[in-house]
Chain A
Amino acid sequence: MSSADLLNDLTVRPHPDDALCLQAVTAGYGSQPVFDRLSLQLQCGRIVGVLGPNGAGKTTLLRLVLGLLAPVSGTVAVLGRELRNDADRAWARLRIGYVPQIQSPTALPITVADSVLLGRWGRSFRFLKRPSREDREVVHETLALVGIAELAERDLATLSGGQRQRAALARALVRRPRLLLMDEPTTYLDREAQRELVHLIERLHQRLHITTLVVTHGLEAGWRFDRTVRLSGGGLDD
């Protein structure tokens, strides 16, 4: 696989459905709702910023989209398919690349390449089916795409914050996602590294047209989104 093949492979064609559609969603933990009848519609192909202070529910929104949290009432639809049962959620998870908040160092020794390979789980291998040579090639090309090819065999725990975010981005990309969710990708990075990462993400978005949702608590890092939504007090403003 060449890098041109990879770029073609990753590129998302235009799609008429909404990437995301939440209707009157009430959701939270225990009896305390985080969202009260929240509605949100996102067109395919955009890069959208979700802003809000600590505790506003940014991560909770992503958990709803991933089907990790079920709404108390209302509906969540991903790429035109409403998440009603396990099959819907599995379907959605196959099409979503997720970069979680804070990649805390892990006690598990794992090479960067192996950690990225995990992004292919469910897509091209699972349980008895082992990763193929093509999977490994995709991992290598993608590491090159995010600029850390030379770190492939390093232990993930020994990477710097910025390098770790790039590895997490690569792991999300090897899934060939239609929708990319990133939870505060620039926290813990210095100004320079923040700007570089923002630039990388914007460049990838322009080239690949993957619908991208970036959670962040501010715009200081130099983000230029197609649209920004602000979460606060259980509701949302554009």
Chain B
Amino acid sequence: MTEALELLSIPVIRHAFLGMLIAGATLSTLGVVIVSLHLMALRFTLMHVGLLGAAAGMSLGFSATAGAFVLVPTASVLMGTLGQRFRFTASSMTGFFMTGSLAGAFLLLARAGVPAMDVFGIFAGNILMLTRVDVVMVGVLGAVVVLAFVVGYREIQAVLLDRDLALALGVPVEAVIAGMFLLLGAAVAIALRLVGALLVDAIILLPGIAALRFARGFGSALLLSSLFGTIACVGGFVVALQFDLPIGASAAAVSSGLLGVSALVTRGKGRS
């Protein structure tokens, strides 16, 4: 215990811990939105857009992270609004964006002569390189996510329940959806930085799915996904330190384990 506290006095470790704690407690609630709006394909596409962002950032002389940070939320909002305007389903939109961004990434890399391996570094994340500024960004996004659910609780609920009904009630459906897509994009960009593209789901999807196995209402789904997200991220962090393992992978392992246990406990009555 004292040993763990001592470790936390090292800035690198402290930043990593705070980043994981905040992301786990807040960004995980977006999993409930992903499942309810059937956006499984979207968050997968956003990972690929992250790759394009990284390639663009590096070819333009910024960092890979900066590129991903600009591009992923932008693409997310575009997919949300274009999808509504042109009446594409979210999954058709994602097909277009996924292939398009991969093509763009490879073309950029070829042109700019950036070593591909540097860009693919985004798949692994780099939590032990988290700076104070990064931690502040995670904190700000986490606060915005929580605020969005507090302020727009009923509106989000209405849109997730039935879009046509929400329109008929007068809820500003387009704005709510654009907001959700923006937060999702930002969350994926942050999670890329924390645990890498391949493990984004450990933070923003699996805790939400596990929560939906138990929850009977919207509020309890959000609270439970936050709880599961915290357990996965903090638990993963502790396990990683204890056994000298990579943090992202440990968190993903705990997250998957949690989902497995939830599935077992709720077998026969789960909904997701």
Q: Which residues of A contact B (CB under 8 A)?
A: 66, 68, 90, 93-94, 96, 98, 100, 103, 106-111, 114-115, 117-119, 121-122, 125-128, 131, 153-157
Contact = CB atoms under 8 A, between A and B. Distances in A.
B161 A109 contact: no
Interface string B149-168: 00110110110111011011
B56 interface: no
Interface residues of B, number: 29
Contacts of A98: 165, 168-169
A107 B169 contact: no
Contact of A109 (B151, B170, B220): B220
B266 interface: no
Nearest to B37: A107
A93 B169 contact: yes
Closest A-B pairs by Cβ, 3 of them:
A108-B36, A108-B160, A93-B170
Contacts of A119: 169
Given A68-B167, A68-B168, A121-B154, A111 B160 contact: no
A114 B167 contact: no
A131 B155 CA distance: 12
Contacts of A126: 154-155
A154 B217 CA distance: 9
A100 B162 CA distance: 9
B272 interface: yes
Given A106-B36, A109-B217, A110-B217, A100 B157 contact: no
A111 B221 CA distance: 11
A115 B161 contact: yes
A111 B220 CA distance: 10
A127 B172 CA distance: 10
A98 to B, nearest CB: 4
A100 B165 CA distance: 7
Given A121-B158, A128-B151, A108 B218 contact: yes
Nearest to B167: A68
A118 B217 contact: no
B108 interface: no
B170 A111 contact: no
Contacts of B38: 107
A9 to B, nearest CB: 19
Contact of B221 (A66, A68, A109, A127): A109
